[in-house]
Structure 1
Amino acid sequence: MFLSKLTINVRSREFRRDYANIHDMHRTVMSAFSTVDTDTAPRQEQGILWRLEDAYGGFVQYVQSRTAPDWTRLPFDYLTGPAQVKSLQPVLDAVAPGRKLSFRIVANPTYAKSQGPDVRGRRFAHRSPDKQIEWLVRRGESHGFVIPVGGDGHPDVTPSPCPDLAGRKTDLNGKITVLPVRYDGHLIVTDPDTFTDALCTGIGRAKAYGCGLLSLALPRTQRQ
């Protein structure tokens, strides 16, 4: 597994185009990876997840992948400097039962509302912080981790709103709207294999559009 850190040039015309249309940003990220001959969607086959973060008045983009990217394929002025690419193996090696870790994830917490018998439920975004936290706690139960209780007696995680993600696919009915939430907190690994799978494949919906990438670090008190 690889993790890339890209420092974005906000003056780039191509980045401004991508920022205005999340589907274009997805295509730009995918342009750094070779085409694979498989029935599985290329993003899933290569384990590609990404997240865009504010940084020093600009943006940093993190991209995780199973295969090595070639960021020289980006438009010439898309970045302010060379991409930083490192192996995620040390992170994977740190996964163990009972291990407590700090985490950050931008996710798309949604729920389905029934539209009637035999009708597929329409999805809506969770908008209240309590519901957003409940959503992540439930995901933890199926992805091999729990969120511990903090000193205030509540789950040790803080949800923060992110700018809405919007765009359009090429077809006329391809409107995209995602209401992402950033979570920062602590988790405890309960099932290493299931958790590692979640780490590699992402959590939740809208993975092609900047959601689902789980980033880990040692808790502050354990850092050197």
Structure 2
Amino acid sequence: MYLSRVEIDIKNRQKIKDLTHLGAFHNWVEKSFPKEIAAGKRSRHLWRIDNLAGKKYLLVLSQTQPDLLQLSTYGVPGTAQVKSYDQFLDQLHEGQTLQFRLTANPSYSVIKPGERQGRIYPHVTVAQQRKWLASRAENLGFHFIGQDKADFSSKVPDHFAFDVMSRDWPILYRKGGHRIKLSRVTFEGLLQVADLERFKETLIHGIGREKAFGMGLMTVIPKE
């Protein structure tokens, strides 16, 4: 596995004029793996957009290394970099406390009478979005600092060490030109690894829906 990053050249209007919707970012990510395209064997790439200290970055997690020239298409020259993610995963251990960041699409499915497939709806309040993540933690191999066998029938307790840092509704164009808005939420906080193998799977495969469009990637760093 590889974790790559490039600073998006937001000051170059000509360069980023195409980046007006999630599909354009998705295409940028996919074109950064020309060997996969040529071989006809395209793997899933988790990615997200990070805003840090007034700069914007594209972060990509992938099974193979991206082409740094392609990854730099809309980036600040010289900022594209790639690191081995396997080495980082090998350093994790159960009981470890980590700082995390996750951009996700908190949503739920409702199956109505006569329908075979449920309809997807977004969670729209901060309380709903926090509950969505907290209620999944155990199955994802971790728990939050301050979390026990809590009852999630109501809101998530404030002492849980994570929160919603940003929320927005970026645009995605589906086939046929259908324009929709996706709920995008960024969480940050502290977690503790409970089940190491399950947690590694979570980091590799992501959380929730719309992974092709910049959702689901969780990254962690050891708490100092």
Q: TM-score normalized by structure 2?
A: 0.85
* Percent of aligned pairs sharing the same letter: 29
- Structure 1, unpaired ranges of 5+: none
The 5 A counterparts of 1:17-166 are 17-18=18-19, 20-33=20-33, 34=35, 35=37, 36-38=39-41, 42-44=42-44, 48-74=45-71, 78-149=75-146, 154-166=159-171
Cα gap change, 1:76 to 1:198, in 2 (>3 Å): closer
Question: Paired residue for 1:183, among 183, 187, 200?
Answer: 187
Partner of 2:4: 4
**Count of residue pairs brought into register by the alignment:** 211
Q: Give the Cα separation in 2 of the matches to 1:16 and 1:3.
A: 26
Cα shift readout 1:145-201 (whole Å, capped 9, x = no counterpart): 111218x863211113333121213x3154342111110011111111111111111
Q: Match of 2:176, SS?
A: coil
Cα gap change, 1:213 to 1:37, in 2 (>3 Å): same
Q: Match of 1:199, SS?
A: helix
Q: Give the Cα separation in 2 of the matches to 1:68 and 1:112.
A: 35
Q: Match of 2:136, SS?
A: helix
Q: Give the Cα separation in 1 of the matches to 2:165 and 2:158.
A: 19
Please tell me whether the aligned partners of residues 109 and 135 of structure 1 are also in contact (alpha carbons under 8 angstroms): yes
Q: Give the Cα separation in 1 of the matches to 2:74 and 2:84.
A: 25
Question: Paired residue for 1:206, among 207, 210, 222?
Answer: 210
Q: Match of 2:165, SS?
A: strand
- Structure 2, unpaired ranges of 5+: 148-156
Please tell me whether the aligned partners of residues 91 and 216 of structure 1 are also in contact (alpha carbons under 8 angstroms): no
Partner of 2:17: 16
Partner of 2:151: none
Q: Give the Cα separation in 2 of the matches to 1:75 and 1:84.
A: 9
Report the residue type matching 2:25 in the other structure: M
Question: Paired residue for 2:222, among 195, 213, 218?
Answer: 218
User: For structure 1, which segment, 95-104 or 85-94, has the greater mean C-alpha deviation from structure 2 after superposition?
Assistant: 85-94
Report the residue type matching 1:26 in the other structure: H
Q: Give the Cα separation in 1 of the matches to 2:95 and 2:17.
A: 43
Q: Give the Cα separation in 2 of the matches to 1:107 and 1:55.
A: 18
Q: Give the Cα separation in 1 of the matches to 2:72 and 2:83.
A: 22
Q: Match of 1:132, SS?
A: helix
Cα gap change, 1:76 to 1:52, in 2 (>3 Å): closer
Q: Give the Cα separation in 2 of the matches to 1:99 and 1:57.
A: 30
Please tell me whether the aligned partners of residues 105 and 213 of structure 1 are also in contact (alpha carbons under 8 angstroms): yes
Q: Match of 2:168, SS?
A: coil
C-alpha RMSD of the superposition: 2.1
Is structure 2 residue 173 aligned with structure 1 residue 168?
yes
Please tell me whether the aligned partners of residues 14 and 75 of structure 1 are also in contact (alpha carbons under 8 angstroms): no
